[in-house]
Each structure stands twice: as structure tokens, then as C-alpha cells.
Amino acid sequence: MVESDVKWEDGKIVCVLPITLPTSHIRVKRNDEPVAVRKYKIEEGDVLEWQISYYKEGRGLIEAGKMLMIAYAHRLINKNQLTELIDYINNVPILFEEGFKIFKRKTVEKFLGEFEVMYREVPIIHKNLDNGCFLEAELKHKQKAVGYQPMLYVFIPVKNVISTSLTNSIVGRKAMKKEVVKWYPTSRDVIEIIKTFGILSKKHNRDILRIIKQIEKDLG
């Protein structure tokens, strides 16, 4: 199975993203709903939703963590910017998981005349990146423990990516089998992704600080 990857290519950071895997953490969405891209043509207003990570046991840095390492190694991000990241994350006054909660909201609606209708409201924070991309962090209940688990998503307009197979746009056609695309994040995109991870929870905050300091130590 093709997995997401981050590389240095032709003087740029490139994120390599599979878009046709049914259980993948990367999918195409239209009006906030997933699109079956092997069945329907991709439209210009569609976006890639990428549930992004930074570390994987047994592999080390992945995705966002690898972006930061590559950006620093190739001087797209300098030492002062790393220091500013550490200061920012060290001084976050309140974390996302601490400032919000998921709750049910009752309504006066009825279903079939006898069932009360309620809505589960989930907090989401949003931040714009470059070139129409944006971040959203969503709070979710932990599946195997008590408490909340923030998830971070990067949204990328499909017009910002190119196919690795045809080296062209994926807009206006159905996706090919096992199609993979490339996205080129800017240095600001990388910084904002790392900053956002740092404000999500205590664990994210500790992990991101450790990763930044290790990159600074390893690469000087």
C-alpha cells in the first residue's frame, strides 16, 4: 500500500499523497463530504483532506515532523525561526483540549413524532495557510480512554496538486487506480502546521518541543 511521504525534490519540499485508498487518512472532499474519485470526476472546488501526523513508532519522524526536518536541513527555516517556534509552544496559555468540550444540544424537533432530536456539537479551530490551503483541528472523544483527542487536518485545494503519473492536474477527470499526487508546502505552511500541533494537547505540546529540539541538536 502506498503511504504518504515527504521528500526534498528540485529545491522544494514535496508531500506525496495517495488519494484513492478507501481507509486512508487522505481523501478528496466536496462541500465537506467525501468524494468517490474513482467513480466521479474531480472538480476544481474540491479539496484534499489530510489527517496529518508527525511521528510513528518504528519509523521516527513522518509527515509534519519530516517537513520540519527537511525545511531546516535545507535552510527554508532558519535557527531563529526554530527558536521562535520553541518560545511560542512553550508559552501557549491554554491548549485546545483544555479550552473546549464536546456536548449535546437539545432541540424542540421531533422524529416520527415521538423521538427528541439532539445534535452533538464538536469544536473545530481553523487557520488559513498559503495558496488557499488551511488547517482544521477537531476535538474527538478518545475511543479507549477518558478524555478528548484532538486531530489535525490539512486541507489542500485539488488545483494545488499534480499527479505523479501524468505530471498534470487531476481536475476534470476521475482518479486513476492507486493515484498519487504531489503537494508543495511553503515554509510558512510548515511553521503553521507545527505551531498548531503544539497547541492541541499536553502530549502534542511535549512531542513537538522534543522534535524541534532534536532537529536543532542533530542538524546544528
pLDDT in tens, 178-209: 999 999 999 999 999 999 999 999 999 999 99
Task: For CA atoms 28, 133, 97, 123, give the dihedral sign.
Answer: negative
- Per the structure, the complete domain to which residue 136 belongs is given by 5-92+125-219
Question: pLDDT confidence of 65, banded at 50, 70, 90?
Answer: very high
Q: Within a domain: residue 106?
A: no
Q: Within a domain: residue 97?
A: no
Q: Within a domain: residue 61?
A: yes
Average confidence score pLDDT of the chain: 94
Q: Within a domain: residue 114?
A: no
Number of domains in the chain: 1
Instruction: Give pTM, 2 decimals.
Output: 0.94
Question: pLDDT confidence of 173, banded at 50, 70, 90?
Answer: very high
Q: Within a domain: residue 54?
A: yes
Question: pLDDT confidence of 67, banded at 50, 70, 90?
Answer: very high
Q: Within a domain: residue 103?
A: no
Q: Within a domain: residue 32?
A: yes
Q: Within a domain: residue 155?
A: yes
